[in-house]
Amino acid sequence: MPGRGFQIASVFIRRGLLAALSSGFGLLGTEKRRTSFARQMRMACEELGPTFIKLGQLASVRPDIFRAQTVFELERLQDSVPSIPVERVLKVIEEEFGAHPDELFVEFDRNPLASASIAQVHRAKLAHPARTTGGKELPAGTDIVVKVVKPGIEDVIEADLAFARRIAEVVSKAGLSRRIDLVGTLDEFGDSLRSEIDLRNEGRVADRFGFDFREDPLVVVPGMVWSRSTRRVLTMEFVEGWRLTDLTEAERTGVDAYGLALHGAEVFMRQVLVLGRFHADLHPANLFVTPDSRICYLDFGIVGRTEPAQRIAIAQVLAATVYGDADRAIRYSGELGLHIPKDKRAIVRDRVAELMGKTIGRKGNSDIRGFAVGFLSILGEFEIKIPAGYGLLVKALVTVDGVSRSIYPDIDIAKAARPYATRLIAQEMLRPARIYQKVPDVMRSVIRVIAE
């Protein structure tokens, strides 16, 4: 694919030169240089299409690898591309089921609901009764949503990944990338991308999320219709509502916006601190607000995980952050793998405290995004390695802040999180198993004897 290879190389070279020019070839300062390169990298991904848009989005959830400016610039990548003719979508459905789409769907809207880099989404109606994973019966004629992988996209992605890997090998051998293992990172991203193309993975995660929040009346997850789903087709319930990106002031006033924003933040903290798995691609386009004031979660392609041993430390870091306690935040960050050398600990602590003072307000004006960018930049400045899960968590907090503000613009997520974080830590500290771990060995022996 030499023509494509030339195109990829020329786009990155041109964008690199533009970044160098706009930053005065580095003479305008480090911040300006990094911001310029991040912007041009995002524009290069948009120019090169599906594979690079997805790679950019995956990179945007890895602040442990890329600089804060790059992470937050790539977050702006819009996964919305021109749609393909519906006939090509229907052909994929026919190939997957061995049946004409008319036999599966009594209606199939020719106009897509959304068209992203990998898949296209259409509204349709079931031709026959079906059930969701949870056993909900859907009669014939029920509105559903059909997500279909675009034909040929796998070949395009594999060709682009192969070329990108060759470039990464050349760069690595030349010693031009000491900060990042380019080849290893690209292979990791390639695996994530291949997993995302198999829509069954997304369906399984959605089912699990729905099960986790089955008793929460304010959370909606569309039920998967597995009898109409395959590797390249995912069928799910249709949910009426407004995307957060489309939520107008009039619609916002019709729902309990503050309560919904607050609850959305608590749902996220429950995922991270209680369940140990969280939606890591929470941006406004992946969320609906329903007319009856509930939040509908969509698109579970990227998921983060936390281990049981990490959760209390995460809760402590979160609480310390929202209360503006730099000492405590740094101390518990160590339990999450953030190692700050002794000779740098005092200066890092002072810088973080200063940053907290500027960004985490106590009067309802916290700047979570500013804090996250500044915090990750401080770690990068002192060449402190950021553990993968830790960086993702910091960025996820920013995302939740952004999502909450999309629902209720005046919400202060730091202030809202304080009582929840405090309550959670208290519950964890009083857990019998934890108390048992803390008592001396001799007392534990006595307890065991009594229990026998």
pLDDT at 353: 92
Averaged pLDDT for residues 18-31? 80
DSSP state of 426: H
* Band of residue 439 on the pLDDT scale cut at 50, 70, 90: low
Q: How far apart are CA 359 and CA 351, in angstroms?
A: 12
Confidence at residue 434, expressed as pLDDT on a 0 to 100 scale: 58
Cα dihedral 266, 269, 273, 275 sign: positive
Q: What is the pLDDT of residue 245?
A: 72
39-87 pLDDT tens trace: 999 899 888 887 888 888 778 777 777 888 888 888 777 666 778 999 9
Residue 438 above 70 pLDDT?
A: no
User: What mean pLDDT do residues 294-317 have?
Assistant: 82
pLDDT of residue 413: 80
Question: Residue 397 has what pLDDT?
Answer: 76
pLDDT grade, residue 444 (50/70/90)? low
Run of H or E including 367: none
Quote the percentage of the chain above a pLDDT of 90. 27
Give the model's confidence band at 291: pLDDT under 50 very low, under 70 low, under 90 confident, else very high.
confident
Beta-carbon count within 10 A of 443 CB = 11
Residue, of 379 and 145, whose pLDDT is higher: 145
Could you tell me the pTM of the whole model?
A: 0.79
pLDDT surpassing 80 at residue 416: no
Q: What is the pLDDT confidence band of residue 141, given thresholds at 50, 70 and 90?
A: very high
Distance CA 370, CA 366 (A): 9
Q: What's the pLDDT score for residue 264?
A: 85
Q: Where are the beta strands (DSSP E) in 75-182?
A: 105-108, 114-115, 119-126, 130-131, 137-138, 143-149
Question: What is the average per-residue pLDDT within 340-366?
Answer: 85
Considering only 53-62, 148-157, 158-167, which range has the smallest mean pLDDT? 53-62
Question: Residue 394's closest CA among 334, 317, 327, 328?
Answer: 317
Mean pLDDT along residues 91-112: 95
Pick from 26-30, 214-218, 266-270 the range whose average pLDDT is largest: 214-218
User: Would the pLDDT of 314 be above 90?
Assistant: no
**Residue count (the chain):** 452
Tokens 């613009």 found at: 409
Instruction: Return the number of other C-beta atoms located less than 10 Å from residue 429's C-beta.
Output: 12
Residue 209 dihedral angles phi and psi, to the nearest 5°: -60, -45
In this predicted structure, the answer to whether residue 102 has a pLDDT above a threshold of 90 is yes
